[in-house]
């Protein structure tokens, strides 16, 4: 065992620094600090990923909002055409509806007949 003298001739071992358990606390403190640093890095990367996902979701919601607005406009125009059609001759509309129903009935009959 070699003793190294520091300062006024007092050996490093005489401070009691390593013998009193301070180095154990210091090592544990370093270990906990490194563990905390790892967890903080993981949380940081996770929060960055969450931020990216939120930006993507907001863009998707904005696109959906625009699509719904255009669909609403199209539906409004279609309803306007239906109102115009319904203001016209009621007999003509009823005739078209009956012809459509007859056509659907014929198609269903034909499908059942083929089986």
User: 107 in a domain, yes or no?
Assistant: no
The whole-model pTM stands at: 0.46
User: 30 in a domain, yes or no?
Assistant: yes
- How do residues 42-94 score in pLDDT, each as one tens digit? 999 999 999 999 999 999 999 999 998 988 888 888 888 878 766 766 777 77
- Domain total of the chain: 1
Q: Is 51 helix (H, G, I), strand (E, B) or coil?
A: helix
Q: What residues make up the domain containing 47? A: 23-89
The answer to whether 38 and 48 have CB atoms below 8 angstroms apart is: no
User: 57 in a domain, yes or no?
Assistant: yes
The answer to whether 28 and 36 have CB atoms below 8 angstroms apart is: no
User: 18 in a domain, yes or no?
Assistant: no
């Amino acid at each position: 065992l070699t003793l190294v003298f520091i300062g006024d001739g007092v050996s490093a071992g005489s401070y009691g620094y390593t013998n009193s358990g301070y180095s154990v606390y210091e090592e544990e403190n370093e270990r906990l600090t490194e563990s905390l640093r790892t967890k903080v890095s993981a949380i940081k990367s996770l929060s960055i990923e969450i931020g990216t996902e939120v930006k993507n979701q907001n863009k998707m919601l904005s696109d959906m909002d625009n699509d719904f607005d255009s669909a609403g406009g199209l539906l409004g125009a279609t309803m306007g055409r239906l109102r115009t059609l319904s203001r016209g001759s009621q007999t003509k509309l009823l005739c078209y509806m009956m012809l459509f129903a007859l056509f659907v009935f014929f198609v269903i009959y034909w499908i059942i007949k083929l089986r």
